[in-house]
Amino acid sequence: MIGCYNYTVILTYFGLAVSIYGMVLALGGDQRTAMACLVIAGLCDAFDGKVARSKKNRTEMEKNFGIQIDSLCDLICFGMFPAVVAYSLNIHAAIMIIFVLAGVIRLAYFNVTEEERQKEEGGKRKYYQGFPITSSSIFLPIIYAALHLARIRTGFAYVEPVFAVVMTVLAILFVLDIKVKKPNNGELAVLSISAIAVFVILNVMISMSE
């Protein structure tokens, strides 16, 4: 069979599978669980590169395949998946188009500039240009959970419009020419744990309020 199937791409493939399942859940009306899937996909992406680099004897084909498959899966997991959630919330199609288009542009730009940077500098990138598309796995689940909780407790009636605004702002940040520091391993672990903790606490509060 063509492709790579060793352990270096397991997390990438698993994140994709979880995202597809999350889309099915969202279209079935279970946005809360879909958002949990988005968080899991984000975790997979956060550590898949480290898993891949642990294999010291990777061939150039395996390295290049990993880069390409990671980028393609990012588009589905953190571009199309949030767009499907937005569709399930009856958010205007224009928002979905803007979000996915910005994600595609960002990923293509990153791939080209990263290839050039590797030739000139090598090593790991210290800064992102613009927000990484994977940031949608942190902001969108937390924002949605907070809005959903507000709806239950206070009758807040603008969950969908606010969520649409957040998606639009994220789309702009994807392509905005700003430097964003890339977290190191420790910072990434703290960020991941903090995001999960906030998401879990909000969902516990939702369950207690229903």
Q: DSSP character for 133? A: G
What is the pTM assigned to this prediction? 0.92
Containing 92, the helix (H) or strand (E) segment is: none
Residue 130 has phi, psi (to 5 degrees) of 80, 170
Task: Report the distance separating Cα 121 and Cα 85, nearest Å.
Answer: 39
Banded pLDDT at 182 (limits 50, 70, 90): confident
What is the per-residue DSSP string for 139-203?
HHHHHHHHHHHHHHHH----HHHHHHHHHHHHHHHHHS--EEEPP-HHHHHHHHHHHHHHHHHHH
pLDDT over threshold 70, residue 172: yes
69 or 116: which carries more pLDDT confidence? 69
pLDDT for the residue 66: 82
Q: What domains are defined for the chain?
A: 7-209 (1.20.120)
Which residues have C-beta within 8 Å of that of residue 138, sequence separation ≥ 6? 39, 42, 191, 195
pLDDT for the residue 81: 98
- pLDDT digits over 29-48, tens only? 999 999 999 999 999 998 88
Cα dist. 149→17, 124, 129, 138, 203 in Å?
28, 40, 33, 17, 8
Task: Report the distance separating Cα 99 and Cα 51, nearest Å.
Answer: 29
11 or 56: which carries more pLDDT confidence? 11
Banded pLDDT at 119 (limits 50, 70, 90): low
> Six-digit token pair at 58?
């990777």
Share of the chain above pLDDT 70, in %: 96
